[in-house]
A = this chain, B = another copy of it.
């Protein structure tokens, strides 16, 4: 398993908004601990109570900062929570090596995502919900969480096509939609996701 981060530039662009360490001009510097305290509070409280039951006041109280300090760093609760949960997760998107057979690689990739969803699936669903009525957040969420996984699967499928594991006329975009859609659909509708589902999806995609 290697590590793949197709969005380093996006992070960099985003982080400039939110990074205190590299500002030269005058003015009081940002409290270096505030952002970390808020992200830690977000993870703890959201895992504990669920996204919709975590209020801004609870987050700032737990982090020991004022309301405005939060809004100086993130434009909304959704952006803070995504930042807290999916910074590490998005950087460390698992990417199977090119030598693994396609069906095995896809099964493994999906199994790891599903394992992650067992812990934070509820939070993820709430973020998808928040993205539907906030186009700015929708774009950021798509770039940081959805697109990297889509890219990995499409690369995997293209490699499989060159190796003859997948017929050359299969439409990669639609296949990727169907693969990711299956797990979003099950997740949004509260259906279970596990290794079995990962195997069934991969088997159907790669059936001859």
Residues of A at under 8 Å CB distance from B?
A: 51-52, 125-126, 128-133, 138, 142, 146, 167, 170-171, 174-175, 177-186, 188-191, 197, 200-201, 203-204, 207
CB <8 Å contact, A185 and B175: no
CB <8 Å contact, B181 and A204: no
Known: A175-B204, A178-B204, A181-B185. 15 other contacts (CB 8 A): A52-B133, A128-B188, A167-B207, A170-B207, A171-B200, A174-B182, A174-B200, A174-B201, A174-B204, A177-B185, A177-B186, A177-B191, A178-B178, A178-B181, A181-B182
Evaluate whether A182 and B188 lie within 8 angstroms (CB atoms) in the complex, with A129-B129, A130-B129, A133-B51 already known: no
**A133 nearest CB neighbor, chain B only:** B52
Q: Which of A146, A179, A185 has the most chain B CB atoms closer than 10 A to its own CB?
A: A185
Q: List 10 contacting pairs A-B, 8 Å CB cutoff, sorted by A.
A: A129-B133, A138-B190, A142-B190, A146-B189, A171-B200, A175-B204, A178-B201, A180-B185, A181-B185, A184-B184
**A200 nearest CB neighbor, chain B only:** B174
Distance A197 CA – B181 CA, assembled complex (angstroms): 14
Write the nearest CB–CB distance from A53 to chain B, whole angstroms. 9
- Residues of B near A142 (CB, < 8 A) are 189-190
Specify which of B133, B175, B181 is in contact with A184 (CB 8 Å cutoff).
B181
Write the nearest CB–CB distance from A142 to chain B, whole angstroms. 6
Write the nearest CB–CB distance from A182 to chain B, whole angstroms. 4
Q: Which of A132, A142, A171, A201 has the most chain B CB atoms closer than 10 A to its own CB?
A: A132
Evaluate whether A184 and B188 lie within 8 angstroms (CB atoms) in the complex, with A52-B133, A129-B132, A132-B125 already known: yes
